[in-house]
Structure 1
């Protein structure tokens, strides 16, 4: 590897900063405080926090323009932005996204509200009536969840619906809300070389084999949609994500950043098929990629070890009701223990941490076994159903529980049906915390929206409608949920990299509805505005 290609090593706080210039955030409040302060950002870091002096709008600054005691340090006059008492906190991080899929989902027909297969067909028909497609063009929808449906989806049902409505023969592909399943009509199946499929419902590996081709759009179009989605995330206070898109993410994001994408920091996850290439690149997890202005780092190895709850493929000790006598009554183990251990050992040798998708309790136990056998560091992604004996193993092995609290609300009813009698240990966030596990929060976008405020509210309140909280004993304290969404600490301190969010309501003063819809007035990435509605 040439010197030009050597990875840029992380600073003490793990963040590279290349921004110059300064901004004074005047008359704001720190998280959980009522005192007005001025926060000075210079060259990408917070260099001072001082009590705001009286006499300026928002209560800050003196007539000499010094910005209050300790703010003026003799450098050039900073850009001054009046916060009017808004709260300054560290920017938000989403620890699990599939970014291209999220960008694509934002462009697709939303079928997430369907409560049956028939409802879904009606949404497809309405869309094709209202906005006809060019001949032969496919209709792609996203978000169906059939775990509670009273009727069974099928390819024939889609085709019959189109014919009954007098619509032309159209390839229809519907992607499940958990990304582990696709529902195709006969025309779409034939387009992708599948003939005689019994149902048109494709799950797990059968679906994954087609999903890349189904999602293919021209690279410039996809990159534009990704940049749009990234800027929408910045508008929610997001400063960084870990991207587990099923792609060579390092290459994709280098291309996007070279083209001007600069709204987020991205840790690029690596999949097993790209593991050897990751070894050749010699980037360890956390290394900053040269030429990315500090925006791109090498992420973990990602392995999907089992399926999902909604497709009844999460690998569990207990048999799923109704699947007795089938080929997969316990769910699906996609990667066996020997192969998982081999992959994790290789990743560890290359300097990569490991992010292991494990949802069912049996899969989680096997993943923890692999961490123990290899000495790997990293996370279990999702950890939705846990055997009680495995709770303490997270802390003992130093394995992070990477959780997506909005899934608990999406799945509460399907969990009650398909994990009956076990939901006291499902989405067991408080139990993990009590056992000493480190928690990080994410969305799994597009499975849930890329909006950490939704995840925080779900973790704290365990409800989003008029129903009682679901297993409220598993609620997290707000300070824990905030810390798990901001890299371990939500409060701002002198010396921090200025990856900041400015919110209109202090989260500690917000009710559930306000927390979920938290108004964000500004987001800074190393002191550079990526979103701002404030007067500047």
Structure 2
């Protein structure tokens, strides 16, 4: 079938940035121009009249934990909680609605709860003592467990801290708060979801993203292998309404190579990245910072994957066509990774791959130009600044001007690719556009307003930027030969709907 889509078209093609109609044939753009021009090219094409709307390339969420987001949609939501008492009330109400089994949830930050130290299991035991409770911080880099959860996990005062994590203690006793890899000591005791539950979570996640107007996502790793299998299952059954660029954890790279897998393998679900974690996160106060670091002396900066390991395994990833995809939050972590990438750039250039840094959240001014010089993708999540504004002012106020420095990076010539990091944040693109263009914290105060982008610049970072980051030359743009995956808007930055021509 051939279609002509009539709308106010924003193409992202600098040679023809605006048009009024797009001709689509067999899922590809055949022509871009005026309605009479497109009708002359294909008189038999069906005209879809969206003349009152804006048509753009399809939105991409460039950083999401897709199936985990599907699971989170049915868990205890603590987003926006401002006190321990509020958490307790929400926990009690959820426990009443779900009277059996583990209670899992998340979305809080320690600072927003009004605490200067990590909360304790006793606070959760006051509400639920006979069932295990595990509550993840908003950034997913720490968790809060009750006594029953620690008991079922077999943790005692004698349990040593795992590598890359800490069981927070008070006078030698476990407080119930878990940092980084220590969260896995409890989460490993959670019941393993059934295959049916995993597929249901995947189906819910992809449909929710589709309903937000997305046509593609970049899903990060360190999720169970069944999550990726579930997405492939949906693809095989014609139920996958998104294109998925997927990462594998670096711990599985050798196995993947032994199985003959390589970067770029796949169709709608395409293997592309190898994921690493250099440091922790701001909310959990585990991000790796340059001096002077945190205002809070109780903060615990952590190096998770050692730079030497990243250097070695990222080189192997490149050799097999995978893009190293490295989490770096703190300004020290970002600097260290850019130093490392300067060594890997010749191999990346040889392989035609663009190195990629996830979050780029807190930067030293001296490192901003390096993103462009090294052609490193700045994969960022402006939506986080809405909640992080207060944290930055309280924990690292000296970094406010170079936190989420999207305008400075863009002006320097860096490639921006925006995502949500869901379930860390809500993937609704309206929130991402508002954060990037307004830069207001939850308190309504401007946050480094000199870093605001325009809606058009934000659109680019949600469409063409993510496509170029992963080498999809025929995506995120409306020009002849490109894939016909579009988003429709009443107004740019408002509610979007997906419009695709691939049979789904």
Task: Give the TM-score normalised by the residue count of structure 2.
Answer: 0.86
Q: Which has the larger Rg?
A: 1
- Please tell me whether the aligned partners of residues 433 and 458 of structure 2 are also in contact (alpha carbons under 8 angstroms): yes
After TM superposition, list the pairs within 5 Å mapping 1:146-295 onto structure 2: 146-151=110-115, 152-162=118-128, 169-196=130-157, 198-211=174-187, 213-214=189-190, 216-247=192-223, 248=225, 251-285=229-263, 287-289=264-266, 294-295=267-268
Task: Say whether 1:380 aligns with 2:357.
Answer: yes
Task: Say whether 1:335 aligns with 2:342.
Answer: no
2:7 to 23, 28, 43: 28
Deviations 1:166-218 (A, max 9, x none): xxx22211111111111111112222222346111111011134435537311
Cα distance change on mapping 1:214 and 1:415 into 2, 3 Å: farther
Alpha-carbon distance in structure 1 between the residues aligned to 2:250 and 2:316:
10
* Secondary structure at 1:320 match in 2: coil
Bigger mean CA deviation after superposition, 460-469 or 436-445: 460-469
2:22 to 32, 35, 39: 39
In the TM superposition, residue 437 of structure 1 has moved relative to its aligned partner by 1.2
Mark the runs of 5 or more structure 2 residues left unpaired by the alignment: 158-172, 349-353, 466-474
Cα distance change on mapping 1:212 and 1:444 into 2, 3 Å: farther
Deviations 1:84-120 (A, max 9, x none): 4211110001111111211111111111121122210
- Please tell me whether the aligned partners of residues 102 and 132 of structure 2 are also in contact (alpha carbons under 8 angstroms): yes
Alpha-carbon distance in structure 2 between the residues aligned to 1:296 and 1:84:
33
Mark the runs of 5 or more structure 1 residues left unpaired by the alignment: 1-20, 53-67, 164-168, 508-514, 531-536
After TM superposition, list the pairs within 5 Å mapping 1:340-419 onto structure 2: 340-375=310-345, 376=348, 377-419=354-396
Alpha-carbon distance in structure 1 between the residues aligned to 2:443 and 2:482:
40
Alpha-carbon distance in structure 2 between the residues aligned to 1:309 and 1:521:
33
Alpha-carbon distance in structure 2 between the residues aligned to 1:266 and 1:139:
30
Task: Say whether 1:95 aligns with 2:78.
Answer: no
After TM superposition, list the pairs within 5 Å mapping 1:109-124 onto structure 2: 109-124=76-91
Task: Say whether 1:439 aligns with 2:427.
Answer: no
* Secondary structure at 1:381 match in 2: strand
2:105 to 138, 141, 147: 141
Alpha-carbon distance in structure 1 between the residues aligned to 2:375 and 2:399:
26
Deviations 1:387-431 (A, max 9, x none): 122112111111111100011111000111110222111111122
Alpha-carbon distance in structure 1 between the residues aligned to 2:145 and 2:443:
35
- Please tell me whether the aligned partners of residues 104 and 135 of structure 2 are also in contact (alpha carbons under 8 angstroms): yes
- Please tell me whether the aligned partners of residues 268 and 297 of structure 1 are also in contact (alpha carbons under 8 angstroms): yes
Report the count of equivalent residues: 464
- Please tell me whether the aligned partners of residues 99 and 245 of structure 1 are also in contact (alpha carbons under 8 angstroms): no
Cα distance change on mapping 1:458 and 1:46 into 2, 3 Å: same
Alpha-carbon distance in structure 2 between the residues aligned to 1:344 and 1:288:
18
Please name the residue that 2:39 is paired with: 71
Bigger mean CA deviation after superposition, 418-427 or 87-96: 418-427
* Secondary structure at 1:199 match in 2: strand
Cα distance change on mapping 1:78 and 1:471 into 2, 3 Å: same
Alpha-carbon distance in structure 2 between the residues aligned to 1:69 and 1:316:
56
Alpha-carbon distance in structure 1 between the residues aligned to 2:402 and 2:498:
38
In the TM superposition, residue 475 of structure 1 has moved relative to its aligned partner by 1.2
- Please tell me whether the aligned partners of residues 233 and 450 of structure 1 are also in contact (alpha carbons under 8 angstroms): yes
Cα distance change on mapping 1:417 and 1:323 into 2, 3 Å: same
Alpha-carbon distance in structure 1 between the residues aligned to 2:55 and 2:245:
24
* Secondary structure at 1:255 match in 2: helix
Coordinate RMSD, CA, aligned: 2.5
Alpha-carbon distance in structure 2 between the residues aligned to 1:124 and 1:263:
34
In the TM superposition, residue 260 of structure 1 has moved relative to its aligned partner by 3.4
Cα distance change on mapping 1:148 and 1:402 into 2, 3 Å: same
Alpha-carbon distance in structure 2 between the residues aligned to 1:451 and 1:283:
33
* Secondary structure at 2:294 match in 1: coil
- Please tell me whether the aligned partners of residues 183 and 201 of structure 1 are also in contact (alpha carbons under 8 angstroms): yes
In the TM superposition, residue 496 of structure 1 has moved relative to its aligned partner by 2.0
Alpha-carbon distance in structure 1 between the residues aligned to 2:503 and 2:410:
34
Cα distance change on mapping 1:48 and 1:369 into 2, 3 Å: same
In the TM superposition, residue 382 of structure 1 has moved relative to its aligned partner by 0.5
- Please tell me whether the aligned partners of residues 344 and 370 of structure 1 are also in contact (alpha carbons under 8 angstroms): no
Alpha-carbon distance in structure 2 between the residues aligned to 1:502 and 1:476:
21
Bigger mean CA deviation after superposition, 358-367 or 480-489: 480-489
Please name the residue that 2:168 is paired with: none
In the TM superposition, residue 35 of structure 1 has moved relative to its aligned partner by 8.9
Runs of 4 or more off by more than 6 Å in structure 1?
A: 32-36
Alpha-carbon distance in structure 2 between the residues aligned to 1:24 and 1:504:
19
Please name the residue that 2:163 is paired with: none
Deviations 1:271-308 (A, max 9, x none): 111111232344443x241xxxx301112111001000
Task: Give the TM-score normalised by the residue count of structure 1.
Answer: 0.81
